[in-house]
Amino acid sequence: MTISFLAAFGQNVGDNFAQQIAKHREAYKQDFLQNERSPLDSADLSNLRFYPPDEKYRVTCTFERTPNEKPFDIPTSSGIAKAFVKYGTLHFELGEKTLQLAVYQNLALRNVPAYAQHLFLPFRDETNDETTYGGGRYLDLSIAEVEAEAPVLDFNLCYNPWCHYSDGFNCPIPPPENTLDIEIKAGEVMWAGLKKH
């Protein structure tokens, strides 16, 4: 997912929540066609599936910065590890539960200007292997978003790793600390197409 794509999703005056999510999903589909490494082509886009938009899964958080974290390797679907550092933790309430998720910086990307402000949030929840991809799903955030006065985490924007669609990608596996003991019935669900090899 690109920073420019993330920036395209904004709060447009006059748009209700469902319209905003519909626009986001259309831009998400088009992003597959603009990336030369994309696992999907135009014929595949009709097989993308999502939960209906639900504002319940757009939650206000508190953010705890963890500046003294040491870099560590996150394993990927291909067996190749990628180096990350934990940037901080988002705390929130959902379904009468108090929950938290860590956000990470990719060490290889944080010195690249286009990705210097990018934060990565991979997670698993109790929908995995049922209605959503078993390997978990992802959210993209920026440093400015998590360090805002009232950061927002919108699970309606979560998406599948590319390895759900095709082999040949190094998709980070969500660390154990980012496993939620609740169903997140929002965002992208299992792809309806056949996995490509």
Q: What pLDDT was estimated at residue 63?
A: 98
User: Is 191 contained in some domain?
Assistant: no
User: Is 173 contained in some domain?
Assistant: yes
User: Is 153 contained in some domain?
Assistant: yes
- Average pLDDT of the residues in 161-168: 95
Local confidence band at 2 (pLDDT 50, 70, 90 cut-offs): very low
- Average pLDDT of the residues in 48-56: 97
Local confidence band at 194 (pLDDT 50, 70, 90 cut-offs): confident
What span, in angstroms and rounded, lies between the C-alpha atoms of 127 and 186? 10
User: Is 193 contained in some domain?
Assistant: no
Local confidence band at 186 (pLDDT 50, 70, 90 cut-offs): very high
The predicted model scores a pTM of 0.91
What is the 3-state composition of the chain as percent helix, strand, coil, each rounded to the nearest 5? 25, 30, 45
| DSSP per residue, 124-166 | B-TTBTTTB-TT-EEEEEEHHHHTSSS-EEEGGG-B--GGGTB
Q: What pLDDT was estimated at residue 197?
A: 75
User: Is 190 contained in some domain?
Assistant: no
- Residue 33: give the domain boundaries: 3-178
User: Is 159 contained in some domain?
Assistant: yes
Total count of domains within the chain: 1
On the question of pLDDT at 4 being above 60, the answer is no
User: Is 196 contained in some domain?
Assistant: no
On the question of pLDDT at 9 being above 80, the answer is no
By the 10 Å C-beta count (0-12 exposed, 13-18 middle, 19+ buried), 60 is classed as exposed
